[in-house]
Amino acid sequence: MSRMKTREDSPALRPESVRKDFPILARTAPLAYLDNAATTHKPWPVLDAMTEYYCTSNSNVGRGYYRLSMESTACLDQARLVVGSAIGARSPHEVVFTSGTTDAMNLLADTLGRQRVSHGDRIVVTGMEHNSNLLPWRRLCERTGAQLMVVPVNAAGRVELSDFEAAMGPDVRVAAVSHVSNVLGTVNPIRELAVAAHRHGTPLVVDGAQAVPHWPVDVADLGADFYCFSGHKAYGPMGVGVLYGRHELLSTLPPYQVGGGTVKGVTFTAPVDYVPAPERLEAGTPNVAGAVGLAAALTYLQDLGWDAVRRHDEHLVRGLVDAVGDLDRVHVIGDPAGQPSGIVSLVVEGIHPYDVGGHLDRLGIAVRCGVHCASTFLDDLGLVGTVRVSFAVYNTESEVDRLCHALATVRPGDWTRDHPTTRFL
């Protein structure tokens, strides 16, 4: 199944008209919202789909023998179908709805952990991981006595296949890597990493939180065994995310949280008879409206045309990197323009990132400053933090111009003078 339109049949994305799809932009103008890696705004089709669900179909799923409940169940089934097809899953049964990437990673560390990891085994992560794809594995190591191996990140901000291969071995029970770095926007060679992991019989878990909003992700083509992402970073609602799992592996996972919706039958004493995945891994009432909104968000992105979205990202990222090249004392970290994903991390020489953030905020520009929930990576880069600019489909060239003008006028402030090495975000 090919979801990517060709360059010929995809017109260029026109952010000025895209902006009309996002009601919050009318309220927040003239704020230049450049913190989309933290969360994106929501377009009307997402808001409408969720409102429509609550106005017409709201009821609990899979447990009411009446029409409204069946309709609600059909909404959830349809959302699973749309989401699975949007990411190249072979079947909707490979899609588990979670509350987000963090929840999906914790689910995996718990279930894969119980299934595969014991004392003396190794788990491989990379040096660029977000805490959500580091701490669950670290805790699993602490609980089991397994060892955490950290693959280094190269000077461009990517994982090298050879470094990954060097870390692999028969005792590596899980490898977990980011698709796109939330700090630098750099892209890892997932396809190659998956081949290397599989050579050792190791499942590859991919943190796709920063990839899904920017690429037409195809889990089968990537060879990912598990792929996790959050709805809210891809124009969908907060509180919903996805754990994709290749059927052969997902179907064997033990339950995570247990409770309503996960069992066929229960007694007080006999072994519990659990339903198959994905429902086995979705205890309790699911976030149906969230799933419906997420399906609408991925459909919205497809309708914009992936080629147009990609070219828009490339245009803004390369435009910013070029413009920053003309600014004294402003430096781009890593190589975000090599394969642009929509994220660019900057530092201003001699000025604390929080002072830069405060200055930009006063000029109506929202960016994220600090360590981006990846202090281990910032330590490795030898930085107190960065100023992270992250684009979405509604950002414009003129916002990039505004940002560059603002960067040209930033001066040291209280953070630089009084707390030059302090960081907490």
Q: Report the interface residues with ligand PMP, using CB under 6 A.
A: 37, 100-102, 130, 132-133, 178, 182, 207, 209-210, 230, 373
**Beta carbon nearer to ligand PMP, 151 or 406:** 151
Non-local CB neighbours of 408 within 8 Å, separated by 6+ positions: 327
Catalytic residue status for 373: yes
Q: Which of 76, 107, 104, 108 is nearest to 92 (CA)?
A: 76
| 327 close to 347: Cβ distance less than 8 angstroms | no
Phi, psi (5° rounding) for residue 387?
-100, 110
Decide whether 206 or 316 has the Cβ nearer to ligand PMP.
206
CA-to-CA separations, 154 to 160, 188, 209, in angstroms, rounded: 7, 11, 21
Question: In terms of CB distance, is 134 or 289 closer to ligand PMP?
Answer: 134
Q: In terms of CB distance, is 32 or 37 closer to ligand PMP?
A: 37
What amino acid occupies position 174? V
Nearer to ligand PMP, 173 or 179 (CB): 179
Pick the closest to residue 343 from 225, 231, 147, 210 (CA basis): 210
Q: What are the strands, taking DSSP E only, across 213-319?
A: 226-230, 241-245, 263-265, 273-274
Exactly one of 75, 141, 228, 373 is catalytic; which is it? 373
| Least Å from the CB of residue 119 to ligand PMP | 28
Name the amino acid, one letter, at 349: E
33 Cβ neighbours under 8 A, 6+ residues apart: 25, 41, 366, 392, 395
Residue 167's H or E segment, with its range, is helix 161-167
Comparison of 317 and 373: residue with beta carbon closer to ligand PMP: 373
| Least gap, CB of 300 to ligand PMP (angstroms) | 19
Angle between helices 44-56 and 67-86 (to 10 degrees): 160
| Alpha-carbon separation of residue 259 from 63, 90, 94, 141, 397 (angstroms) | 13, 28, 20, 27, 50
Q: Which residues are catalytic?
A: 373
